Amino acid sequence: MDIRVEDLYVRFATLSGDIEAVNHVDLTFSQDQITGLIGESGSGKSVLGLTIMGLLQSNATVEGRIFLGERELISLSEKDLCAIRGREIALVAQNPATSLNPSQKVGRQIEEVFRLAGEGKVDSTRRTHELLERMGFSDSERVMHSYPFELSGGMCQRILTAIAVAAHPRWIIADEPTKGLDAVVRNQVYDTFCMVKEQYNVSLIVITHDLLLARKFCDQIVVLYSGRVLEINTAQAIFNNPRHPYTQGLIASLPHLGMRPMPGFSAAFTDQPSGCVFHPRCPYIDEDCRKIEPKLIPVEEGSVRCHRYS
Amino acid sequence: MNDTLRYIMTKIFLAIPILIGITLLAFGLGLIARGDPALARLTVDPDYIPTEEEVQALREEMGLTDPIFIQYGRWISGVVKGDLGESYLDDKPVLSEMLRLLPNTLLLSFMSLTLIVVLGLLGGILLVVFQDRLFDVIGRILSIFIMSVPGFCLAYFMIWVFAQKLKLLPTSGTEPMTAFIMPCLALALSSACLVARLLRSSILGELVQDYALTARAKGLRKSQLVFRHTLRNALTPSVTHIANVFGGFLGGSMITESIFSIPGIGTYALTAINNRDYTAIQGYVLFTGFAFVLVCLLSDLICSYLNPQIRLGRRV
């Protein structure tokens, strides 16, 4: 079941003005594929993920449509959304250290998913044990009776993943799964996700600014900037043949490719540039770029939002 | 479990110096404020003017001429044996007088505590569940209103309504049991409102935490989220506040007890202060101090139960 996002627009009302976090995004996340959402902080990638699950705070205005198969999610009631969350689309939240309830043992937090799916107490406990072992915990008994603050960041990350897969959802949205973890643990996260993908037959949306993880793990990559999609392509094409100047800049900033930083900063949300949002930082700037906002143009197997390809 | 036990022992151990400090304070209070207890005692009858010799003799008899630490030692050894001394005024033992009045204060305190806990928790949770809807808005305005009315005004207002107009409740005394309803309301209502508001804001604070997002992503409804996850984490400030208020109640509420003529610890202390009855005041300060420390200790233990990070904190 694909997730289809049509003309999605998300705005936050804040004291310093309205923030347009997601700006008319059209995207299809294909079933059985791993889609990576990449972009720098504030590009709207986390907001996009939370919007799909209907988990935004109350100061957000959402327009547009999100389809899960035939069902449209934005118009669903909170009650119907609760039935979809966890069971059809699950979330691996960012910040593993703070994303588990500090005053509840982790066993109970995993069991809760089974209980919500209607299983009995004994079955839930048994399945939690199995799940923890599958997640690579050799001493599942001890882990179940630990509080989150007694576990390491990498362990909490695996617990979060366990919570996400527990109810066998079709989709998992992983929000910055490698953020704040060291290289060894990042590799563990990668291995865990590969295992999850294989054993649970789940489709994934991985939100990350870890480009190397995206390249290793994702089939398709979406590049976001200031709430807009700038480029969509297969992971291979994005890294071997980046088309958009922003994507080119991102790839060139990778450590093993010379670590050349991109000049400038992304524009403030309350003061967006006219024309192409990227034009103030673009090395190929043209007169059109300042005035006309480019459309998403199909180029070979992907598409790119840049006047140079029109 | 071991860590938990160690935490509890540490807390109890740390309470001991505070308790000793309270005995010093209670005793010192008598010393500092001492007009002259001997003189005061001899002039209970205002028509009698004692001679200087009589006063001096009584001072020696009462041990007031001994060095201070001997007086403290004598007093504390009595305290340990359960003897708080006799009232300067009427020679009745302070402890047995307080014990005689204690049941009324205890009853009033526990009734008020129950009211605060029930109304405060229920109110706080309901305000969150109906957040930004009519119930929440009206509840918040009403609670501010009740909180800003002083307890004694509320007391007189209730007497006017329930005793004089509706003739439902007795105005004063301790019999029948319904006589405790109005004092309890006068004592507890504003604190209950405060707890409800405090709890509301701490639950709302917890609802935007990262772990609440994980819980919502599991498919929990808001009420389930509040009860299963955020309530426990949000309770700590309310527990601490309730403990402070309850500790105060145990020391007797002088105003409420006077208005409703309830013979309790508060009125006892009030009489003692008016008569400069220092042994009684010392006994009172000692009692309220101990009660307060124990209640705070209990609230610390409850908080550590609610938040395991407090008791297992070494590994954070």
Q: Where are the domains of chain A?
A: 3-103+147-309
Alpha-helix runs per DSSP H in chain A: 45-53, 78-84, 106-116, 121-134, 140-144, 153-165, 183-200, 211-217, 235-240, 245-252, 287-291
Share of chain B above pLDDT 90, in %: 40
Contact at 8 Å (CB) between B236 and B307?
yes
Confidence at residue B314, expressed as pLDDT on a 0 to 100 scale: 53
Please name the fold of domain A3-103+147-309.
Rossmann fold (3.40.50)
CA separation, residue B213 to residues A18, A116, A274, B68, B97 (Å) = 23, 16, 35, 63, 57
In angstroms, what separates the C-alpha of B238 from chain A's closest C-alpha?
A: 17
Burial of residue B305 (CB within 10 Å: 0-12, 13-18, 19+) is middle
More confident residue, A250 or B31: A250
In angstroms, what separates the C-alpha of B167 from chain A's closest C-alpha?
A: 49
Which one, of A65, A79, A84, A63, lies nearest residue A21 by Cα? A63
Residue from A81, A88, A99, A158 to probe the interface with B (highest B Cβ count within 10 Å): A99
- Chain B touched by A95 (CB under 8 Å): yes
Confidence at residue A202, expressed as pLDDT on a 0 to 100 scale: 92
Question: Parallel, antiparallel, or unpaired: how do β-strands A3-14 and A17-29 relate?
Answer: antiparallel
Q: Where are the domains of chain B?
A: 2-80, 102-315
Pairwise CB contact (< 8 Å): B217 & A112: no
Which tens digit of pLDDT belongs to each residue from B94-143? 888 888 999 999 999 999 999 999 999 999 999 999 988 999 999 999 99
In angstroms, what separates the C-alpha of B219 from chain A's closest C-alpha?
A: 4
Model ipTM? 0.90
Please list the pLDDT of chain A residue by residue as tens digits (310 residues): 899 999 999 999 888 888 889 988 999 999 888 999 998 888 889 999 999 999 998 889 999 999 998 899 999 998 999 999 999 999 999 888 899 999 999 999 999 999 998 889 999 999 999 999 988 898 989 999 999 999 988 899 999 999 999 999 999 999 998 887 888 888 888 999 999 988 888 999 999 988 888 998 999 999 999 899 999 999 999 999 999 999 999 888 888 877 788 888 877 777 788 888 888 888 888 888 888 888 888 888 889 999 888 7
Which tens digit of pLDDT belongs to each residue from B260-273? 888 889 989 988 88
pLDDT band of B315, cuts 50, 70, 90: very low
Confidence at residue A119, expressed as pLDDT on a 0 to 100 scale: 87
Confidence at residue B90, expressed as pLDDT on a 0 to 100 scale: 76
Alpha-helix runs per DSSP H in chain B: 2-33, 37-42, 52-62, 68-80, 94-129, 134-148, 151-158, 181-207, 210-217, 222-225, 231-250, 254-259, 265-274, 278-306, 308-311
pLDDT band of B35, cuts 50, 70, 90: low
B93: DSSP letter: B
Whether B316 shows a pLDDT value over 50: the answer reads: no
C-alpha B178, offset from chain centre: 22
Tokens 């079709």 — which residue? A170
Question: Number of A:B CB contacts under 8 A?
Answer: 83
CB-closest option in B215, B217, B219 to A101: B215
Pairwise CB contact (< 8 Å): B213 & A79: no
Contact at 8 Å (CB) between A140 and A132?
yes
Mean pLDDT of chain B: 87
Average pLDDT of span B15-43? 81
Rounded Cα distance between B266 and B212, Å, is 45
Q: And the tokens for A257?
A: 């490719």
HSE toward the beta carbon, residue A2, CA cutoff 13 A: 7
Per DSSP, what are the bridge partners of residue A65?
A6
Average pLDDT of span B226-235? 93
| Preceding omega of B176 cis (within 30 degrees of 0) | yes
Tokens 């399945």 — which residue? A127
CATH superfamily of B102-315: MetI-like (1.10.3720.10)
Which tens digit of pLDDT belongs to each residue from A146-156? 999 999 888 99
Tokens 């480009």 — which residue? A211
Tokens 């604070």 — which residue? B205
More confident residue, A282 or B84: A282
> Terminal CA-to-CA distance of chain B, rounded, Å?
17
Among chain B residues, the shortest Cα distance to A90 is held by: B217
